Chains A and B, each alone.
Chain A
Amino acid sequence: MDTSDKQIEHLAKLSDFSLSEKDSKSLGKDLESIINYISQLDELDTKDVEPTYQVFEMENVWRDDEIIPQEATREELLALSKEQEDNQIKIPKVL
């Protein structure tokens, strides 16, 4: 697969990175060789094979609908953010 500049830009966007031109170039080169490697899967025949997303035989694991105290308080959680106001997390304006 060709990893064009445009594709790298697209992947950086999906990943939310503001890559410098230099980083784009070097990462682009790396990604190209990785994608070439993983593309060898093409040759494996997986017709009629079901995918396996999880490797355990469990199902229907759920909990009761009861309120219980949590391990961290609101104050402890909010204190982890850089700026707060009125018990909320403060961020630059969303346009």
Chain B
Amino acid sequence: MSRYEITVGIECHVQLSTKTKLFSEVDNDARGKEPNSCVSPVDYALPGMLPRLNGEAIKFAIRAGKAMNCEINPNSRFDRKHYFYPDSPKGYQITQFYHPIIGAGYIELPDGTKIRIEHAHLEGDAGKLTHFSNYSLVDLNRVDTPLIEIVSMPDIHSAKQAHDYCKELWRAMVYAGVTNGDLYNGNMRFDVNISLAPEGSDKLGTRAEIKNLNSFRSVEHAVEYEYERQSKLLDKGEKIKQETRGWSDATGKTTPQRSKEEAQDYRYMPEPDLPPIRLSKKFIEEEAAKLPTTPKQYREKFKNIIANDTLEILLDYKPLMEKLAELKEKSVARVSNLFTSVLLAEEKSVEMLNSLPTATQLSELCEMTEKKELSSTASKEVFLRFFDPDMKQKTARDIAKELNLLQENDLSALEKIVDGVLANPATKQAQEDFKAGQEKVIGFLVGQVMKASQGKANPSSAQEILRQKLKN
């Protein structure tokens, strides 16, 4: 069986999280809202309606571009792309075909590989159709939600890399603050072009395009599947058809979509209803300066404090990184562990992310744990209470006190408790066993001390005192 090199290029649509739509002043966030409740006469494409450009979308695009290390084109404008479909009320999409706002750049993967961005442009999203047995319904809520479409160069050469690129792109956009990044709700959608060529060949093969993938896993699996499918065909000496295919998460397969008899002719035309955009250097720089810390900058910042694996997990949660950045360096490692071990295991982690404890709360918690005022178990316990609506306003110490979690570090007090335990006839046998050399029994005795202290004793101190006493 011959070997093939796979080449992948990805187009990604990112819904921008501006307050209003790209061309009218209606709510841009239709999640959980009734059909057609976020629709202006402009979106509905009544006769005589003209687009009213949202300036914020321009600013978001500048930030998004900078987050991908892209040039921002000082001169850009909008174009019309024509096609008839009920999800497109105007009969055309307003996009940027000839002069996009975002020029060339790249996304750097965690392993340092750079995937080049060809360009990215602003455009309006389409509406949504729901199909029933013999009719369809049209909801225009999503019409002209601002999108940027990011077009990569064919620099990707494995399914894993495709996955990593999508994820890194997602992080870049989320950290730039230009999208909610909610994949479940279609905030980012990927069209993946896949072609195979014999290894060493300098020509690309015929590509298949898998449209509308909405998770990193789907991207990865679709690329894997296509590699298998196409290499089998090539092995048999068959040709790959240039076509659009759909992906099913359920079957794990791509299937050809209804192929159009002829190539679409979109008849692009400069949009005459919108004046051109000419951005001064100053304007671009001012917007670029508003770009928040990027994933790459966080990696730099924490690379010697947080283990690489942990860091890559935490990087999926922008609020966590922002919180860690607020802390003193010595608390970062402990808090990042708390985040990883506790928060991410919780089912409601998404909601929790919206109400993270303050830096002061966390710092105090770290200090108390360090001073052994709190055991590591108690520390987690207090941490969890930071998310309890009744407790979240309280300090770490107040919570620890309220829950009786403060460790008994007073050695004389502890000694008294140990004495009490040793005087208890119920521990007699254990004491003898230990003296006879049965090491394990010490655990039982420490447990008794803990019980007697109602859990407040510092177990290692308790063990130390027990050993001393039993030696005598």
Direct contact of A and B (CB under 8 A): yes
Contacts A14-B267, A94-B136; A77 near B39 (Cβ below 8 A): yes
Interface centre among A65, A70, A71 (most CB of B within 10 A): A65
Q: How far is the CA of A58 from the CA of B36 in the complex (A)?
A: 33
Q: How far is the CA of A63 from the CA of B272 in the complex (A)?
A: 18
B138 and A70: CB pair below 8 A?
no
Give the nearest-CB partner of B264 in chain A: A14
A23 at the interface (CB under 8 A from B): no
Chain A residues numbered 65-95 whose CB sits less than 8 Å from any CB in chain B: 65-68, 70-72, 74, 77-78, 85-95
Nearest Cβ in chain A — how far from B398, in angstroms?
41
B25 at the interface (CB under 8 A from A): yes
Give the nearest-CB partner of B34 in chain A: A87
Nearest Cβ in chain B — how far from A75, in angstroms?
9
Which chain A residues border B26 with CB–CB below 8 Å?
A: 67, 70
A64 at the interface (CB under 8 A from B): yes
Nearest Cβ in chain A — how far from B110, in angstroms?
33
Which chain A residues border B270 with CB–CB below 8 Å?
A: 53-54
A16 at the interface (CB under 8 A from B): yes
Contacts A54-B275, A59-B276; A93 near B134 (Cβ below 8 A): yes
A60 at the interface (CB under 8 A from B): yes
Interface centre among B130, B139, B265, B275 (most CB of A within 10 A): B275
Q: How far is the CA of A47 from the CA of B77 in the complex (A)?
A: 23
Contact among A70, A89, A94 for B41, CB-based, below 8 A: A70
Contact among B25, B39, B58 for A66, CB-based, below 8 A: B25
B275 and A87: CB pair below 8 A?
no
Which chain A residues border B56 with CB–CB below 8 Å?
A: 64-65
Q: How far is the CA of A77 from the CA of B139 in the complex (A)?
A: 12
Q: How far is the CA of A83 from the CA of B417 in the complex (A)?
A: 81
Contacts A66-B19, A66-B20, A93-B132; A88 near B53 (Cβ below 8 A): no
B275 and A89: CB pair below 8 A?
no
Give the nearest-CB partner of A15 in chain B: B84
Which chain B residues border A14 with CB–CB below 8 Å?
A: 265, 267
Which chain B residues border A60 with CB–CB below 8 Å?
A: 275, 277-279
Q: How far is the CA of A67 from the CA of B24 in the complex (A)?
A: 9
B39 and A91: CB pair below 8 A?
no
B135 and A93: CB pair below 8 A?
yes
Q: How far is the CA of A95 from the CA of B134 in the complex (A)?
A: 10
B36 and A78: CB pair below 8 A?
yes
Q: How far is the CA of A60 from the CA of B270 in the complex (A)?
A: 16
Add 4 more A-B contacts to A62-B55, A64-B56 (CB < 8 A). Answer: A58-B275, A62-B58, A66-B25, A67-B19
Residues of B within 8 A of A (CB): 18-20, 24-27, 34-37, 39-41, 44, 46, 52-58, 77, 84, 86, 129-139, 258, 265, 267, 270, 272, 274-279
> Can you name 11 A-B residue pairings with CB atoms under 8 Å?
A53-B77, A65-B20, A66-B20, A67-B19, A67-B20, A70-B25, A70-B41, A87-B34, A91-B137, A94-B86, A95-B258
Residues of A within 8 A of B (CB): 14, 16, 53-54, 56, 58-68, 70-72, 74, 77-78, 85-95
Q: Identify the 10 closest CB pairs spanning chains A and B, nearest first.
A: A62-B55, A65-B56, A88-B137, A89-B138, A62-B53, A53-B270, A68-B25, A58-B275, A70-B40, A87-B35
